[in-house]
Amino acid sequence: MITCIVLAAGESRRFPGNKLLFEIKPNLTIIEYLLMSILASKVDRIFIVLGHEVELVNEKVQSLDADIHTIINPHYKQGGMSSSIRRGMEEALDSHAVMITPADIPFIPSEVFNQLIDHYRSMSPLIIIPTYQARKGHPILISSQVFKHVLNISEEKRGLKEIIELFKENITYLPTNFQGILHDIDDVSDITIVKSKMDIDQ
């Protein structure tokens, strides 16, 4: 069982409105775009962690009419992204591995999820981080052997960066051909810039 945890609880403070609800294409929001990519992959199960504007985001999640499990993080404001990761992990402890990705990195293709899963199933590393031209991206795959450490992360301890430092000798950096793993969306202009870089239809 490989579970993908999508972190979608944040407030999008640098974006005019909730960026996850911004239409990246006509009638297709950022959150839907990412979830459709994951649904097309070999991921066994999807958990999405919500906090800010739960009802609005969940409406888009449910519109996909797919088996996506919604998890609420009531502490997203005080605990930041680390609290959402912990909340997702608490529900995914029966997994062999989890893949963690922020919801505002929508251009990760299903091929990347598959590439990480295939490598994990053949080599069983503790952590896999995809790269594009030597730059680290998302999603991050974490083996069950590391789960207990992830359950103890906090923003004060630098979140997943603490885990990456702790297990730096046991990380596989997996090269990919997809620069979408690098690009998060902070403001509206980022969408146009990323689309032009990646030759994505406007």
Tokens at 126, concatenated? 């503790």
- pTM (two decimals): 0.94
Q: Spell out the residues 6+ positions from residue 79 whose beta carbon is closer than 8 angstroms to its own.
A: 73, 86, 154, 155
- Classify 25 as helix, strand or coil: strand
- pLDDT of 202 reads 43
- Classify 154 as helix, strand or coil: coil
* Neighbour tally for 139: CB within 10 Å: 24
Q: Tell me the sheet residues that pair with 50.
A: 8, 72
Tokens at 22, concatenated? 């911004």
Secondary structure string (H, E, C) spanning 87-132: HHHHHCCCCCEEEEEECCCCCCCHHHHHHHHHHHHHHCCCEEEEEE
Given a cut of 50, the residues of the chain with pLDDT beneath it are: 202
The backbone torsions φ and ψ at residue 120, rounded to the nearest 5 degrees and listed phi first, read: -60, -45
- Classify 1 as helix, strand or coil: coil
- pLDDT of 25 reads 85
DSSP category for residue 138 = S
Among residues 70, 100, 94, 90, the alpha carbon closest in space to that of 151 is found at: 90
Kindly tell me the sign of the dihedral angle through the C-alpha atoms of 102, 174, 4, 86.
negative
Q: Which amino acid is at 166?
A: L
Q: Spell out the residues 6+ positions from residue 62 whose beta carbon is closer than 8 angstroms to its own.
A: none
- pLDDT of 186 reads 75
Architecture of domain 2-198: Alpha-Beta Complex (3.90)
